[in-house]
Every structure is written in structure tokens, then in C-alpha cells.
């Protein structure tokens, strides 16, 4: 990361700069002989829950490198998603990343992705331009975030998409790329700000977990994680309160407290298996802590007021 160290991590996440769609950016293709018109750089996404919103899909996809636009076709029995990327390589990478992704654990929707037969056609000027919205058309959610003077991004979603099931996948020790969840060919990605993000995701075998609470237990951290690394990732998560690192014999573990269970749960899902750049051993394991922050095991020390019906109401 170039010496842009003045950006504090606990700053609001700013959406990554996307290629400006209205200007019809020339697609960066390695082979200039090809017109790129015939190259499919769209993926087809099935397995979406019937009540999926375009915005949902878009918010998932927008973090993927090279993402241009997405659309859902609701006419079929099951919604069919399409996502356009700037290059076929980006599309392939995204396809792999999204393959078997649990889109919604509650409805048990698991995504299935394929390369599309043909490219998604993105209509110009539909995106975020209220004057030119053609109401008869379905709104396409494009990757255009160039709303000038946007006060604050409406998303405080963490940068990475949720766990994706690419068994055995390990992020390469490539130069830290805040937006890249997976390796993608050289495309102008300027690495503008040191936005903390895992360098990838790895599957996690989460044996047992504890009942949800507002504190997360982070395990399977590498030997040489440093606090800044962890803080960088977690402190920007919505509802983050504080964290505590615990170094043990061989392991380093970490506790993260959130305002409420929701915050913890979201991060539990979204960052599960996130691979820190420092990690030599795959993704971090995220579990709910056995005890919430600021509260000890039970019994032991003097503060035994809670056992005799004392209404120690702490909500989580």
C-alpha cells in the first residue's frame, strides 16, 4: 500500500471507483485485434430466492473486481440473474467466486453460476439518472457510483462478499489488493485507498458454534497477525465496539464486541473464512464467543450478584 497512511481505517467505507459506464469505456482486452463484442463477459446466476431484489444481487456483486452491471429476469419460474463484467476474465473469476455461494441461509438458496450465452445488454442512462429512467423498463443496477456530491455512501456493508465455496482456494500472496477477493488478470486497478479487506476467502470447517451473542471469537489466525490488521478489518464493520487480542501458546485469538447481536451476526457471516494477508493457514474461523465482552466465565470472582435473581439485564 503506497504511503497513503493518512486514511484512518475507521472511516466510512467508500465504494470502489468503478469504470464510468456512460462514457462507454473501452474494454481493456489484451488482444486488441478482437473487438470484444463477441467475448462473453456476463455470468448467469441461478439459485436466487424467489423474493430476491435486484438491489440485493447488485450489492453482492458490486464488490467484485470488474463488475459492471447486473440484472434479474423475473419472468421465469425462478429469478435468473445476470452480471456483466469488464472482461471475460473478471466474469470467470466472479463466476468461480460465486459458485455455490450461500446467498441466503434461511431460504437455503445456493447460487449456481455459469457463463452466460451472451452479454447482458446495459441500457445507457438508466442508472441513477431520474430524468432518463424509462419506467417501462426494469431498472438495471449498474456499477455507476459517480453520483457527484454524494454525501455518504448508503452502504456500510463490508467490502467483501460473504463466504464463497471454493474449496481449497487460497488467496495468493499477491500485492495487497483491497478490492480483489480473488486473483484477476491485470486490469487497471489503481489501489486507491487502504481499505481493509481480506485478501480472499477460504472455506472454514466451523465445528461447533455457540449461541449468538454480541461478541465474536476469532480463531485460526496466523502466528503473525498484528492488531492493526485485525482492527483494520473489524473496526469498520457496522456496530463494531471494541476488540481484544489474546495471544496464546501457538494460537492467537481475538474477541470482537459489537453493539448488538445483529452486528456480530452479520460479520460472523460476511467475514467467515476471510484470509488475512498475514495468515499462513487459511481463513479465520469466526464463532460467537462463549461469553460476551466484559463478562467473565461465571462464578469465580466476587461479582456473584447475578445468581440470586438480581436483574442483571444485559441485552444482546
Partner DNA sequence: AGCACA
Stretch that binds DNA, among 6-14, 31-39, 99-107, 215-223 (CB under 7 A): 215-223
Distance CA 188, CA 160 (A): 19
Of 238, 228, 97, nearest to 156 by C-alpha is 238
> If we measure between CA atoms, which residue out of 311, 263, 312, 316 comes closest to residue 290?
316
Range 275-294, binding DNA (CB under 7 A): 281, 285, 287-294
Residue 311 CB, nearest approach to DNA (Å): 16
Window 47-86: residues binding DNA (CB under 7 A)? none
Residue-wise DSSP of 7-40: S-TTSPP-PPP---STT-PPP--S-TTS-SSSS-
**Cα angle 14, 16, 21; round to 5:** 125
Instruction: Choose which of 188, 301, 313, 315 interacts with DNA (CB under 7 A).
Output: 301
Could you tell me which residues come within 8 angstroms of residue 109 by beta carbon, excluding any fewer than 6 positions away? 47, 48, 49, 52, 102, 103
User: Please, what is the minimum distance in Å from the beta carbon of residue 260 to DNA?
Assistant: 15
- Alpha-carbon Rg for the chain, nearest whole angstrom, is 21
Binder to DNA among 35, 244, 280, 312 (CB under 7 A)?
Answer: 244
| Closest distance of CB 196 from DNA, Å | 21
Please, what is the minimum distance in Å from the beta carbon of residue 285 to DNA?
A: 4
Binding DNA (rule: CB under 7 A), the pick from 1, 50, 174, 246 is: 246
Q: Which residues bind to DNA, rule: CB under 7 A? A: 205, 207, 210, 215, 217, 219-220, 244, 246, 248, 251, 253, 255, 257, 281, 285, 287-297, 300-301, 303
Amino acid at each position: 500500500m503506497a504511503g497513503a497512511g493518512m486514511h484512518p481505517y475507521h472511516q466510512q467505507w467508500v465504494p470502489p471507483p468503478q469504470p464510468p459506464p456512460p462514457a462507454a469505456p473501452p474494454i481493456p482486452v489484451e488482444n486488441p485485434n478482437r473487438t470484444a463484442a463477441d467475448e462473453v463477459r456476463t455470468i448467469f446466476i441461478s439459485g436466487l430466492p424467489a423474493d430476491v431484489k435486484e438491489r440485493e444481487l447488485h450489492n453482492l456483486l458490486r464488490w467484485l473486481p470488474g463488475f459492471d452491471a447486473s440484472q434479474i429476469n423475473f419472468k421465469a419460474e425462478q429469478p435468473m440473474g445476470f452480471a456483466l463484467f469488464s472482461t471475460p476474465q473478471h466474469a470467470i473469476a466472479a463466476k468461480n467466486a460465486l459458485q455455490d455461494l450461500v446467498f441466503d441461509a434461511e431460504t437455503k438458496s445456493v447460487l449456481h453460476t455459469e457463463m452466460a450465452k451472451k452479454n447482458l445488454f446495459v441500457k445507457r442512462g438508466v442508472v441513477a439518472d431520474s430524468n432518463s429512467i424509462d419506467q417501462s423498463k426494469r431498472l438495471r443496477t449498474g456499477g455507476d457510483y459517480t453520483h457527484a456530491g454524494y454525501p455518504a455512501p448508503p452502504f456500510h456493508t463490508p467490502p467483501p462478499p460473504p463466504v464463497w465455496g471454493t474449496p481449497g482456494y487460497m488467496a495468493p500472496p499477491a500485492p495487497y489488493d483491497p478490492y480483489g477477493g480473488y486473483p484477476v488478470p491485470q486490469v487497471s486497478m489503481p489501489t486507491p485507498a487502504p481499505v481493509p479487506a481480506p485478501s480472499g476467502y477460504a472455506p472454514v470447517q466451523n465445528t461447533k458454534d455457540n449461541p449468538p451473542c454480541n461478541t465474536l471469537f476469532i480463531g485460526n489466525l496466523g502466528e503473525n497477525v498484528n492488531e492493526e490488521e485485525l482492527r483494520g478489518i473489524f473496526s469498520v464493520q457496522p456496530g463494531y465496539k471494541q476488540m481484544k487480542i489474546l495471544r496464546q501458546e501457538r494460537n492467537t485469538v481475538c474477541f470482537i464486541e459489537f453493539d448488538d447481536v445483529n452486528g456480530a451476526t452479520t460479520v460472523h457471516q460476511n467475514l467467515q473464512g476471510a484470509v488475512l494477508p498475514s495468515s499462513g493457514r487459511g481463513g479465520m474461523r469466526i464463532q460467537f464467543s462463549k461469553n460476551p465482552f466484559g463478562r467473565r466465565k461465571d462464578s469465580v470472582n466476587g461479582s456473584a450478584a447475578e445468581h440470586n435473581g438480581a436483574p442483571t439485564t444485559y441485552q444482546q
